[in-house]
Structures are given as C-alpha cells and as structure tokens.
A and B are shown apart, each in its own frame.
Chain A
Amino acid sequence: AQKVTQAQTEISVVEKEDVTLDCVYETRDTTYYLFWYKQPPSGELVFLIRRNSFDEQNEISGRYSWNFQKSTSSFNFTITASQVVDSAVYFCALSEWTGRLYFGRGTQLTVWP
C-alpha cells in the first residue's frame, strides 16, 4: 500500500531563515510520482511540483528546492530565505497508477516577521 509520512506537524521560523520540510514515502510500485502541494490560509490546495520515480535530479525554482532520494524514500522540500507569505500547510503526496494521490498529514509552516 502507498503511504506518505510527514513527521513534522508544525514548524515555526523567523523571516529569512531557511526551512526544510521532510517527506518519507512507501510504495511497492516501480513507477510512481511524488508531489508537493501548498495550502495557504485561504484554503485552496496549490500544486507546486511533481517528480517521477526515474528522475532523481534535484530541482530548484526560485527560493524553492526539492531533494528526491530513492535510496532513503524521501522527497524533501526546502524554502530558502523564507517569507511571511510562505506561511501555509504543505502536503507531500504519492500517486498510484490511477492518478489518485495519497497525502501525508501535512506540515504547518509559520514564518514570523
């Protein structure tokens, strides 16, 4: 069965600090996709990134970066120089062949000014 674990329930940082959100997953599939979503206080889930199981290259997009390591079944997300607007709940997810997503419980990130 698919499983996603986000061990960090809540993280608080001060603006401009770097912060890493952890995600560990379990699957028996050889082909799978991993996702990160952001849920700001407004409530809408916003897609951030997708990575497939055959591509372990790290990715950087502005202040965001993602580190995918199959050896440890982890797909961690780092925000550099955090800003107040980054405050949100962040969800890691794993998809099965239907496209259905299995979500972690989410990490509430609070960035203080």
Chain B
Amino acid sequence: GAGVSQSPSNKVTEKGKDVELRCDPISGHTALYWYRQSLGQGLEFLIYFQGNSAPDKSGLPSDRFSAERTGGSVSTLTIQRTQQEDSAVYLCASSLWGQGSPLHFGNGTRLTVT
C-alpha cells in the first residue's frame, strides 16, 4: 500500500515569502505528526493531529508557523515570512491512534530559504 506522501520534495524560497508543505498520510491513519530535522538539531516535534484537531501545537517555533488538517486526511504546514533559520527537512508521519502505534514517515520536504 501507499506510504506517507509529502510534496514538494524540495523547495527553495526567498526570505520573506510564504510556503506551504503538504502531507498525505497512510489511509486509515487517524494521527498525523509534523517534525523538523536540521543539522545539529535532531528531530524536532512541531505539531500533532488527531483527526482534524490539533491537541498539541507546542512545538511550533513561532506564530509564523501554522498547520491544518482537513477530512481527517491531508495536512498542510504553512510558514509565513520565511527566515533563513527555517531551512530544514520537514517530516510528516502518520499512525493508527494510540500510544505504541509506530509512526510511519514520509520522505520529507527539504526547505531552503535564501
């Protein structure tokens, strides 16, 4: 079956522009997570969705970051007025609801802010 799909795979943008990153989870997975991976920072949690609700947004670095999920499926992570420090690989993962369900990750979107 299809895995987690993320688009675009690469995105280069100018400082100050807005970007949207898309995640299409595995069908039937109700939980969806966004992480960020940058050199020297490891895997940084951003936000978690259960269905269309986001009970945990504690990892969003600033109010320039937002995310939504519609229809319990596709999620979009939006970064407004991008800064150079936003450059990273943004990873999306999905899982069946419940502690202990393995997260299945997409290949990520590599964002470069110039």
Contact = CB atoms under 8 A, between A and B. Distances in A.
Contacts of B13: none
Contacts of A47: 102-104
A37 B102 CA distance: 10
B49 to A, nearest CB: 10
Contact of B105 (A45, A52, A100): A45
Which residue of B55, B89, B99 has the most chain A CB atoms within 10 A of its CB atom? B99
B56 A100 contact: yes
Contacts of A102: 45
B100 interface: yes
B99 A98 contact: yes
Interface stretch (B14-22, B80-88, B90-98): B90-98
B108 A43 contact: yes
Interface residues of A, number: 26
Nearest to B9: A43
B12 to A, nearest CB: 17
B89 A43 contact: yes
B31 interface: yes
Contact of A44 (B98, B99, B107): B107
Contacts of A44: 105-108
A99 interface: yes
Nearest to A29: B99
Contact of A33 (B56, B99, B108): B99
B42 A105 contact: yes
A101 interface: yes
Interface of B: 31, 33, 42-43, 45, 48, 50, 55-56, 89, 91, 93, 95, 97-108
